[in-house]
Structure 1
Amino acid sequence: MHSTNLLLEEPIRMASILEPSKTSFFPAMTKIVGTLGPKSRSVDTISACLKAGMSVARFDFSWGDAAYHQETLENLKLAIKSTKKLCAVMLDTVGPELQVVNKSETTLSLEENGTVVLTPHHGQEASSSLLPINFSGLAKAVTPGATIFVGQYLFTGSETTSVWLEVSEVKGDDVVCIIKNTATLAGSLFTLHCSQIHIDLPTLSDEDKDVIRKWGAPNKIDFLSLSYTRHAEDVRQAREFLSKLGDLSQTQIFAKIENVEGLNHFDEILAEADGIILSRGNLGIDLPPEKVFLFQKSALHKCNMAGKPAVVTRVVDSMTDNLRPTRAEATDVANAVLDGSDAILLGAETLRGLYPVETISTVGRICAEARQSLIVRGLFPMLADPRHPAESTSATNESVLKVALDHGKASGVIKSHDRVVVCQKMGDSSVVKIIELED
């Protein structure tokens, strides 16, 4: 009867939804990573981002030179000093990323059902019928029928800033493709992604090593985002390289999972890396849409059980140009938190978006509400009730303790195989006392 009552019990009081959100005394448990760029590199804007909740600044070396990023970093230091808000620095490598080079920055218009040729010959000018790329092995990697996406940020094939191509034939080093949707490509550089195709390029390129050595080491970066991680060996090689740079011996490596190859070796990568970044933009191409949520839930669960941070990307793309997210995006952010995500990574939304500060603030509020709902749904009371001591994993204990610290609702014993956490709520206050923590 008791279990039946639990099933029938209203999980969330509807009236509580109408109550104003309350600012928690404790710092947010779900961190926000903001990518700094053209729209978010001034001291004033970075200061506002820090106040809004950004706690990690990401520097994406897929574009911009070291001098440009150094200037941004110096502005970050000034913003940290003025706001007295701590912020870590993350360097994002380029890795084996395929790119279309448009040196003249001519706007390229591609029409549906037309043809376009991808060529490795850099000397040629980009046009609506010819796209020079930075990889000479594409013709050997693809076969007719393969799908290729080209664009700056979004990869669904529906928006006008990215294009979906289908390989029709291979001619020597060139790849002839049929254009599947009308699109306009603007700018000097576009990312190219081949669905479920192995790209024979090193995960940590010579260019990446040069940037880490000349920019990362002097600035003592906190995190290295290892793009396109495909094997545990990729992480080991990156760690070996960092260890040779004395200033980066303590830098944590976050493996960025971006394709099926990385998914196939996820467990071994997780064991080797310090954290995981679920890069849903490229994964959304490699995986059928109906499989993306399964990957996310499974990967976050594995990270939680291993006690390693998990970061989710591509959550509020519409806020790049709009002041508010869609309802689906807001729900997506909350579900990522409920699934166990430790951080949300914002890319285009803060790099070139019109509302970087508002985006960080909005995502932060959604994360806070999701954390609050963990208590309302009974996660903590169920595990922390001293009458029903919970046997669970360390990662679950960590999550419960985070919730307890967030809201001051801790009372009882939480046990796991390798530790015992005894926490007690101090009267009616919001103070939580950890009585014992044993390995």
Structure 2
Amino acid sequence: GLLSDVGPGDRLSMGDGRVILEILDHDGESLTARVAHGGVLNGRPGLHIPSDRLSMRAPTADDLLAVERFVELDVDMIALSFVRSAEDLARLPVDPHPAGPIIVAKIETQAAIDDLPAIIEASGAVMVARGDLGSECSIEELPILQKEIIRQCIALGRPAITATQMLETMVTNPEPTRAEVSDVANAVWDGSSALMLSGETAIGVDPVNVVATMSRIAERADQAFDHRAWMSELSEMRMADTDDPNTSITDAMTQATARAVDALGIGTILCISGSGFTIRSMARFRPSARILGLSANERTVRQLTLSWGTEPLHLPEQGDIALRVAAALEAARDRGDVAVGELVGVLAGTDVRSRSTNVLRIERVPAR
């Protein structure tokens, strides 16, 4: 526990660095600390202990009990804090998504940075948890780590969530600082799939205003996004997984789709997928075209809300490729997402059991 993990001379932070405690004495039953830097703490702020000193491992026994209950409640996503290795994720008693929830690995320890590729591979999504991560590493390294974590998530087709202190001053203020506005926009341009608020909505004076403010900033950043430059940059990355031919095919097909829709000026891509992998792979290219993510699996549809730019849609049809493409076109047309005669891209597998995306069609939306 805490008494055995820290000792005299250690400095502990509370509330993501708002308060710094210096441990002065340890008598075996208690710790004596001096407030080296004081401040105001609200809510239930965490106490950060360097991960290499922390004896407790994630997931804890309480975590495992909570996960069992979450699974019973059919939740769609579960985030695990203080992940140190891919083995931590493997200990969770859940089925791989979409049969089970998406597991979001929170990257907030130095050990997680050291095992980052394996953690991303083992997770369904990743959160850049900048609060504790900023306490684990030197503060000047944090922006570099944020970009690198997101870059590796993109390469492996995992959604990346950027979190902590995005609009921190709006806990008490009606407007963010100009630096915070730039931080939110830059997180979008870095390639974040989602942005997350924490204290701003948990203990903030006007959480609705905070959410609306972040939404406006993110939408405007998306409008100014350089889609062609992004696609060119991603094409230079080695994203194809040559160890898994199914994944490699999907990687190649989504890259081809991104180029095709750009060259033809197509405004909408219909991605048909059972697990959502195809759709997430497509979303990482940030195409200027809309992405309609269609799946027969209703849990997949809900989980796709985490993927950038994706508008999830349930598609009951599970027949062969021709039937699924026809059903997708009709569903998008009937919802008003596409117009009759419009040229659209369709990305799918040859059948519902296909483990790879191997069909790209350019189709015109049929009349009713």
Check whether TM > 0.5: yes
Match of 1:433 among 330, 334, 344: 344
Question: Per-residue deviation at 1:335?
Answer: 0.7
Question: Per-residue deviation at 1:301?
Answer: 0.3
Question: What CA deviation, in whole Å up to 9, does each residue of 1:101-128 have, x standing for no partner?
Answer: xxxxxxxxxxxxxxxxxxxxxxxxxxxx
Match of 2:123 among 239, 264, 273: 273
Amino acid at match of 1:226: L
Consecutive unaligned residues of structure 1, counting only runs of 5 or more, are 1-136, 158-162, 385-389, 408-428
Q: Return closer, same or farther for 1:361/1:261 CA change in 2, 3 Å cut-off.
A: same
Are 2:17 and 1:156 aligned?
A: yes
Name 1:228's counterpart in structure 2: 82
| Whole-Å separation in 2 of the counterparts to 1:145 and 1:271 | 38
Question: Per-residue deviation at 1:202?
Answer: 3.2
Secondary structure of the residue aligned to 2:16 is coil
Q: Return closer, same or farther for 1:357/1:257 CA change in 2, 3 Å cut-off.
A: same
Secondary structure of the residue aligned to 1:291 is helix
Are 2:148 and 1:298 aligned?
A: yes
Q: Return closer, same or farther for 1:249/1:206 CA change in 2, 3 Å cut-off.
A: farther
Mapping of residues 228-377 of structure 1, within 5 Å: 228-238=82-92, 241-243=93-95, 249-314=99-164, 315-375=166-226
Larger relative contact order (CA 8 Å, sep ≥ 6): 1
| Whole-Å separation in 2 of the counterparts to 1:228 and 1:362 | 29
- Contact 2:201 2:207 (C-alpha < 8 Å) held by counterparts: yes
Q: Return closer, same or farther for 1:321/1:219 CA change in 2, 3 Å cut-off.
A: same
| Whole-Å separation in 1 of the counterparts to 2:62 and 2:98 | 17
| Whole-Å separation in 2 of the counterparts to 1:298 and 1:288 | 15
Q: Return closer, same or farther for 1:401/1:270 CA change in 2, 3 Å cut-off.
A: closer
Question: Per-residue deviation at 1:436?
Answer: 6.0
The total of aligned residue pairs comes to 263
| Whole-Å separation in 2 of the counterparts to 1:329 and 1:432 | 40
Question: What CA deviation, in whole Å up to 9, does each residue of 1:367-401 have, x standing for no partner?
Answer: 122222223x7526x749xxxxx666448753575
Q: Return closer, same or farther for 1:184/1:333 CA change in 2, 3 Å cut-off.
A: closer
Are 2:34 and 1:175 aligned?
A: no
Question: What CA deviation, in whole Å up to 9, does each residue of 1:177-230 have, x standing for no partner?
Answer: 22112335566x54211235432223122222333333x134210001111111
Name 1:403's counterpart in structure 2: 287
Are 2:130 and 1:219 aligned?
A: no
Name 1:17's counterpart in structure 2: none
Name 1:11's counterpart in structure 2: none
Percent of aligned pairs sharing the same letter: 26
| Whole-Å separation in 2 of the counterparts to 1:327 and 1:259 | 29
Query: TM-score scaled by structure 2?
Result: 0.63
| Whole-Å separation in 1 of the counterparts to 2:201 and 2:41 | 21
Q: Return closer, same or farther for 1:379/1:146 CA change in 2, 3 Å cut-off.
A: same
| Whole-Å separation in 2 of the counterparts to 1:368 and 1:185 | 32
Consecutive unaligned residues of structure 2, counting only runs of 5 or more, are 240-250, 259-281, 292-339, 349-356, 359-368
Secondary structure of the residue aligned to 2:286 is helix
Match of 2:8 among 131, 137, 144: 144
Question: Per-residue deviation at 1:248?
Answer: 8.8
Question: Per-residue deviation at 1:353?
Answer: 1.4
| Whole-Å separation in 1 of the counterparts to 2:35 and 2:284 | 50
Query: TM-score scaled by structure 1?
Result: 0.54
More deviation, 281-290/204-213:
204-213
Name 1:191's counterpart in structure 2: 46
- Contact 1:149 1:164 (C-alpha < 8 Å) held by counterparts: yes
Q: Return closer, same or farther for 1:296/1:370 CA change in 2, 3 Å cut-off.
A: same
Name 1:60's counterpart in structure 2: none
Q: Return closer, same or farther for 1:432/1:403 CA change in 2, 3 Å cut-off.
A: farther
CA RMSD in angstroms comes to 3.2
- Contact 1:220 1:248 (C-alpha < 8 Å) held by counterparts: no
| Whole-Å separation in 1 of the counterparts to 2:170 and 2:283 | 29
Question: What CA deviation, in whole Å up to 9, does each residue of 1:379-436 have, x standing for no partner?
Answer: 26x749xxxxx666448753575332249xxxxxxxxxxxxxxxxxxxxx9x662166
- Contact 1:405 1:432 (C-alpha < 8 Å) held by counterparts: no
| Whole-Å separation in 2 of the counterparts to 1:400 and 1:186 | 37
Q: Return closer, same or farther for 1:206/1:374 CA change in 2, 3 Å cut-off.
A: same
Question: What CA deviation, in whole Å up to 9, does each residue of 1:71-117 have, x standing for no partner?
Answer: xxxxxxxxxxxxxxxxxxxxxxxxxxxxxxxxxxxxxxxxxxxxxxx
| Whole-Å separation in 2 of the counterparts to 1:296 and 1:274 | 18
- Contact 1:222 1:251 (C-alpha < 8 Å) held by counterparts: yes
Match of 1:205 among 38, 46, 60: 60
- Contact 2:154 2:284 (C-alpha < 8 Å) held by counterparts: no
| Whole-Å separation in 2 of the counterparts to 1:436 and 1:260 | 39
- Contact 1:146 1:194 (C-alpha < 8 Å) held by counterparts: no
| Whole-Å separation in 2 of the counterparts to 1:199 and 1:296 | 23
| Whole-Å separation in 1 of the counterparts to 2:289 and 2:198 | 29
| Whole-Å separation in 1 of the counterparts to 2:168 and 2:111 | 25
| Whole-Å separation in 2 of the counterparts to 1:138 and 1:306 | 37
